[in-house]
Amino acid sequence: MENERYNIQIDVKSDYVETHSKPEDDRYVFSYTVTIRNTGQTPAKLLTRHWVITDSNGKIEEVRGEGVVGEQPYLRPGEGFRYTSATVIETPVGSMQGSYQMIADDGKAFDAEIAAFGLAQPRILH
């Protein structure tokens, strides 16, 4: 099956960065740590990223670019890559989702989907 050959698992954990946030200026900073693991059967390289960042006012920002944190990790089956980055939104609650555009060793291009995850200032959500 094709989805067994090309399978990238992505887990994300987000944290509010109080020291860099300025709620009085509608500036809320969140770090997020992403763990990417090749659970498929074919080595693949992460080429580009696409993020959709939404705040609770409905403002949407799309971010596209090469690689992640200046790298284009190459993952053999069973290998993983972890990085931490950050984003800034104008509200204390928001969400992110997106995808990584991958290329397998056999030349097949595919997307690795990043499920939506929350961004929330502590004690804002009950």
Distance CA 26, CA 71 (A): 31
* Count of H-run helices and E-run strands, the chain: 1, 8
pLDDT in tens, 34-74: 999 999 999 999 999 999 999 999 999 999 999 999 999 99
pLDDT at 1 over 50: no
Region 111-123: what's the mean pLDDT? 95
Distance CA 69, CA 14 (A): 16
pLDDT in tens, 9-39: 999 999 999 999 999 999 999 999 999 999 9
Q: Which CATH superfamily is domain 2-108 in?
A: ApaG domain (2.60.40.1470)
Q: Which sequence spans correspond to the domains of the chain?
A: 2-108
Helix (H, G, I), strand (E, B) or coil at 37: strand
Cβ atoms of residues 119 and 14 within 8 Å = yes
pLDDT at 126 over 70: no
Q: pTM above the 0.85 mark? A: yes
